[in-house]
Structure formats: structure tokens, C-alpha cells
Chains A and B, each alone.
Chain A
Amino acid sequence: MKSEILLGDEAVGLGAIHAGLYKAYSYPGTPASEIMEYLIKASQKRKNFHASWCVNEKVAYEEALGVSFAGRRSLVSMKHVGLNVAADPFMNSAVTGTNGGLVVAVADDPSMHSSQNEQDSRYYAHFAQVFCFEPSNPQEAYEMTRKAFDISEKTNVPVMVRLVTRLSHSRSRVQPYPSQKPDSIQYGKWEDWTLLPVNARRRFKILVEKQPNLVELSNRSEFNSLTLNKKNSQLGIITSGIAYNYVLENYLQNNAIPSLLKIGAYPLPANLIQDLVRQVETLLIVEEGYPFIEKNLRGQFGISGKKIKGKLSGDLPLTGELSPDLVRKALEMPPYSTHFLEDSPLASRPPKLCQGCPHADTFHALNEVLRSRSGANVFSDIGCYTLGALPPYNAVHTCVCMGASVSMAKGGADAGVDPSIAVIGDSTFAHSGITPLLDAARVKANMTVIILDNEVVAMTGGQPTFASGEELDRIARGVGVEEKHIRVITPLPKNKEKNIRVMKEEIDYKGLSVIIASRECVQEARKRKKKRG
């Protein structure tokens, strides 16, 4: 087969297709979005599988689980914080077990290039007691994803493929191999899939009893490899995923690589670790993310007679992503000589709202209204509009997790914040803003929700949104917001005075209002024009 140039994300997509994928689901989120983007494009050409965006990660996961129940192979992909949203079905699907192979591809974001935290998804795999792969390059991402489906069917648990930003967005050559066809339908047994206590207790016991088997699979996995250097009994290195590349980079011109255990499959391969530990005095653990391997190895008391170096010992930083340079330092090698900037620090060039962005007009009007209202708080959410927290807008005051603007505004109103305002994008509203609005509508909470409807999921690259325009109006009415307090504005400079008036009226109203600010994202409008030619 012809080799292809693929991002780590895309290699996961191709691996899934070649493993006989039947259906894939996802909700956008950097750095995982390109998995689904690749699958959607490919599905338009191949037609023997389907791929679609979902309204949020929990829904995506559950849809994938439904496919698995029906005996077919499914993939669900998301960014790391998406797994928090999907954590409930994820944890429970380990207990029900899977039928058709179920693979969950999760992309972590160490250094928080575009995220709120740097949580390490390996902890989730460990927590749910399922198998997990961690590729170090696009080729492995392809191979491991294929293998993940087999392991899922062999062990009847979902299997995680854990990526990190640097791999998700690293491009290189991938050599594929012949693909297999999707399976036909074959239903799961209801007594395994109905987690009444009587069934759940039995199923959970089965999951726990599987664990030694998973460790054995990991010991024997071709993706865990131990290479011993009998001449060096001093240092041994344990490394995983992308961090492996940084270690090897530093031994390029040097044949004397210390004993090295490369981990690409979890649970931790206990036998291989023991073989290495026996051989050396000092262990250096190099891993991207939290010190997961290091903590497991060290336990509460360490290993007697051995020195363990890594993030917990301070040899590598506990926050931010690794680099070949940081690993070089931990290996006690001198840095390379280089050029230095004389006039540092350099002016930074942060991302900002595009020229002509509809969100900017909404913020200008809102700021104008709030200038005369002390005690106001604007609870915000996640999307392009979060950039409204920065100058020149300084318009919003919180950003925690998707949907939190509406619920926090309700909490704020309960606590006496007045005016209490939520701003939330259309996609984020569909993702997890509707349920808290229902909650607020039940008690007519004294708050104003501004839905920033730019007709697209802009922040993550322009994926389709699930509710826009008229639909948002109907949803607001449906959950019980009074019709006369649902207002629609068009955020444009020429409408500023009109929009200020509407905002004033609704913010002054002592009850629940929804303002839908509708205008298309300018980037999206541009893309649409380009396509039309």
C-alpha cells in the first residue's frame, strides 16, 4: 500500500478505518479535532463507514457504546477535558464490557496550548481499569489504533489511545497495511448491559478479575520493549509516548544508550519493569503529562537501594510539556551552543478576536451597559469569545468548563450578584448550556443569558453547530423562558445603540432573560465565499 503523510490525529483515523470501523463520533476540541475531520472526509469517499460530530462528548461516547452493543466497531474521539464530560459512560462501559471493539482516542494538552488544564488521561484508563496505548509517532498511532480494536474485542473492555498535542499535530510518513471489513450486527447480552446492582456486582467482579490478564497482555505487547545495556549498571531509563523521541534524540551520536524500557501499552508491564530495575542503580522516568509511571514505581516508599529520578525528584518539570532540551538536562548532558536575543523579552503576539468579529460588537454594547451598573458579573464560557477577557474588551470574568457560564450565573444570582450575566456560544450552549437554563427557568432566576450565535464552532476550526438562529429561540422557549424575554439582536457597529437598549431592558428585568446575538463568524463567511469561488 502507498504511504501517506499524516498527522498523529489522522493516523488514528486511518488506523480505525483499516480496522473495520463501522461508526465514529466526536465533539470538537483541540488537539483532537483532526481525528474526526479526517474521518468525515474519508467517509465521503469510502462510504463503508460513517463519521459524525455530536452535540457533546457524553453523547458521542454513548452513541459509540450503542454501536459496540450491536457488535460493530466504533471509535469515539475527544480532547482530554471532553473525557470529564464523558466520564460517566466511560467508567460504566468498563463494567458492562464491550461487544464490538470500542476505542476511545483522547488527546491531552500538556502546556495548555489551547485548554484549561493539563490533566493526564492515563489516570482515567487506570481508574476505569482498561487497556491503554500511548503512541510515539503517527506510524504507531496507526498501528496501535488498529490493535486497540482487537484488544477491545479480546478483553471486552473499551481501549484508550492516549495522544498529546505534539503527536496529534506532528506530521510524518505512515505506511499502512491491508484493511479489514466492518463486522455484521450481533447484539450484546442484556444481563451484561443492564447495570442493576445484581448485574453490576457480577460485572464489576469480572472486570477486576481481568486485571492480571491485562497486565500479561501488556508484558507481551510488541509496543512495550526493553533493551538492556549490560555494560551500564548505573542508569536505566523508562519512557513512554512522545517522550521516547526526546530521549533518543539525545543519544543520536552516541551508541552507548543506557538500558531503556519503552512503554507504549498500559497497564504497566510489571515484568519488564522488574527486569530493568534489577539491572540498574538509578532509574530516570521520562514521560509526557503527570508523573504517572513514576508515581506507580515509587509508591509511598520508593524502591529500596534504587534512586528514582523524574518529575517528582525535580529533574524534570512537573508542569508544561517536555522538550528534547529539558530531557537533555535530565540526562546531565551539556546544552548546545546557540544564538541569544539581546532585547528580550520580545513583544508577544497573542491570539485575538478577528477584525469584524460579531463577538466584539456584543462586548462593546455590553460594556457600555455595564458601565453604569456596579456589582455586575459576567460569567463566561469557552470559545472565541473567551478572548473577551483580554484588553481591549475586559468584558468577561470567568471561564471554567463548557456550560458553566449559565449555571454559575444562576449560582451568582442566588448569592445576590446583580446583574448576573452569562455569555455562551451557540455550540457551547448546545453542548451543556441547555440543562442549566432549564434549571434557571424553573425558578425564574434573576439573570440574563446572552447566546453568542455565530452559526459555527469557531474556536476549534469551524465545525458545524447543533443549534443556531430560530432553533435557539425555540429551545429557550421550550425550557420555559418567557417569550417576551427572549430577544434577538444583530451585533453590528451600526446597531450598537439599539442593542444597548435591548440589553438594558433585559438586564433590568428582575427575572430570566435570554438575548440571542446572531451574526455569522467572519472567518466562516470568508471560507464559504472561497468555496463558492
Chain B
Amino acid sequence: MKQDVILAGVGGQGILSIAFVIDNAALKESLNFKQAEVHGMAQRGGAVQSHLRLSDSSIYSDLIPKGKADMILSVEPLETLRYLEYLAPEGLIITSQSPYENIPDYPDRDKVINQVRKVNEARLIDSLKLARKAGSAKTQNMVMLGAASRHLIIKEKNLLRFIQVLFESRGRSLVDMNIQAFYLGQEAVKT
């Protein structure tokens, strides 16, 4: 059993928080994992990506080989396209459809979405709308984690447990908001 996931988004969208939750849940389930991330310059509105590998046997490379990712989980549609070559032919895309336009040459939105749709197994989520419904646009990352939750080889209860751990120090209401965001994302995939 193994699962290789590319996490993607823009600096500030909380990609590493998604990774934190999955990493800790994996440790809890005694799965091996490796998670390579980018720090430094990319913090200021630049592209951010993380290679997350889960397996019940040994994991070697910190980077996922091109064509081997089982899933691209992305909080931004243009960022999804950036890592397409990592996706396995039968791989799954779970992406936000809400663009983050902080560059002058952001391509036509419909073009971006259409390219994503060309991949058979693509699920597009209106993460911005759902995050606002949960209480804050900042919870888009947890909406997306929720959307991916049924497809991850990690148990939902462990994901929820570490969402709790992640936000606990900042108050009950923030925990609840993020958990609601998680559930809204999860439901959006079903319908």
C-alpha cells in the first residue's frame, strides 16, 4: 500500500498545514512517510509545493518521480497544472477551482479549468465559497483536505485529530471553523 501526493498552492495558502495534518496522522497509523517541502523565497506569494509520500514499506526518494504521483491535491487551479507531469496516467486531481491572481499574466480562467478537466479523474471544488461558508477564506486548505479525505489512505478520524492539534493553541472557535471547512470539502466531492 502506497500513496504519493503532490500538494500545491501559493505561499500563504497553508499547504504546509495540510502536510502537517497528514504527516502526523501517518505517524499515528505507523505508516512510513517522507515529505519534501520548499522554504525560503517562496513564502511571498510564490508557488509552493510539497511532495508527500506514504507507504507501508520503505520509501526512498524524497521527490516523487514524474508520472508516479497518485494524486495532485491543490489549493489553486493554475498551480495544479504546474505539476501535471508528476501525475500517473490514472492519477487523481483534487483541486480548488478558485484562482489566486497575484501575477499580471495569469492565464484565462476557463482555459486553466478546461485543461484540468481534460484529466479523467479530476474533481474541482469551489473552495473559496465553501471556506467562506465555514467562516473564513483562510480555511480553503482544510476544505481541500476534506475533499481529498476519502481518497487518502489515512483514516478520517486521525486527520480530524491533527486538525484539532494544529489549531488548538489558537482557540476553540478556530478549531471548529477548520473542522467545518473539512466537512464542507468532503461533502462537495460526494455531490
Please report A residues at the B interface, Cβ cutoff 8 Å. Answer: 3, 5, 30-31, 33-34, 113-114, 137, 166-167, 169-173, 242, 244-246, 248-249, 252, 323-325, 328, 335-343, 346-354, 384, 387, 459-461
Contacts and interface: CB of A to CB of B under 8 A. Distances in A.
B61 A249 contact: yes
Contact of A343 (B89, B115, B119): B115
Contacts of B67: 335-338
A246 B64 CA distance: 10
B11 A338 contact: no
Interface centre among B66, B86, B103, B118 (most CB of A within 10 A): B66
B85 A347 contact: no
Interface of B: 10-11, 19, 23-24, 27, 32-47, 59-68, 78-79, 81-82, 84-89, 91, 102-103, 105-107, 111, 115, 118-119
A248 B34 CA distance: 15
Contacts of B103: 347-349
A173 B47 contact: no
A351 B63 contact: no
Nearest to B57: A252
B39 A325 contact: no
A173 B84 CA distance: 28
Majority secondary structure of chain A interface residues (helix, strand, loop or mixed)? loop
A339 B84 contact: yes
B42 A31 contact: no
B66 A325 contact: yes
Nearest to A30: B40
Given A30-B40, A338-B86, A346-B81, A167 B62 contact: yes
Contact of B37 (A171, A341, A346, A353): A171
A324 B61 contact: yes
B60 A352 contact: no
A342 B87 contact: no
A245 B60 contact: yes
B61 A246 contact: yes
Contacts of B43: 351, 461
A5 B27 contact: yes
Given A114-B40, A169-B36, A346-B81, A336 B65 contact: yes
30 contacts: A3-B27, A5-B24, A33-B39, A34-B39, A113-B38, A166-B36, A167-B62, A171-B35, A171-B36, A172-B32, A172-B34, A242-B62, A245-B60, A248-B61, A249-B65, A323-B65, A336-B65, A336-B68, A338-B67, A338-B86, A339-B87, A339-B91, A341-B81, A347-B107, A349-B10, A351-B11, A351-B44, A352-B45, A353-B44, A461-B39
Nearest to A387: B44
Contact of A171 (B23, B40, B64, B102): B23
Contacts of B115: 341-343
Given A336-B88, A347-B78, 20 more contacts: A31-B39, A113-B40, A114-B41, A137-B62, A169-B36, A171-B23, A171-B33, A173-B32, A245-B61, A248-B60, A252-B60, A338-B85, A339-B84, A339-B85, A340-B84, A346-B81, A346-B107, A349-B102, A354-B45, A460-B40
Contacts of A137: 34, 62
Nearest to B52: A171
Interface centre among A171, A252, A349, A460 (most CB of B within 10 A): A349
A27 B38 CA distance: 20
Nearest to A342: B115
Nearest to B19: A171
Contacts of A30: 39-41
Contacts of A31: 39-40
Given A335-B67, A338-B88, A170 B34 contact: yes
B29 to A, nearest CB: 12
Contact of A324 (B24, B65, B85, B118): B65
A420 to B, nearest CB: 28
Contacts of B61: 245-246, 248-249, 324
B52 to A, nearest CB: 9
A337 B85 CA distance: 9
A383 B189 CA distance: 43
Given A173-B27, A336-B65, A352 B85 contact: no
A249 to B, nearest CB: 4
A350 B88 CA distance: 27
B85 A169 contact: no
A73 to B, nearest CB: 27
Contacts of A33: 39
A42 to B, nearest CB: 18
A332 to B, nearest CB: 15
A173 B63 contact: no
A464 B46 CA distance: 24
A277 B46 CA distance: 46
B63 A166 contact: yes
A351 B89 contact: no
Nearest to A530: B170
Contacts of B33: 171-173
Nearest to A9: B39
A174 B100 CA distance: 36
A372 to B, nearest CB: 28
3 nearest A-B pairs in the assembled complex, by CB-CB distance: A336-B67, A338-B67, A30-B40
Contacts of A336: 65-68, 88
Contacts of A350: 46
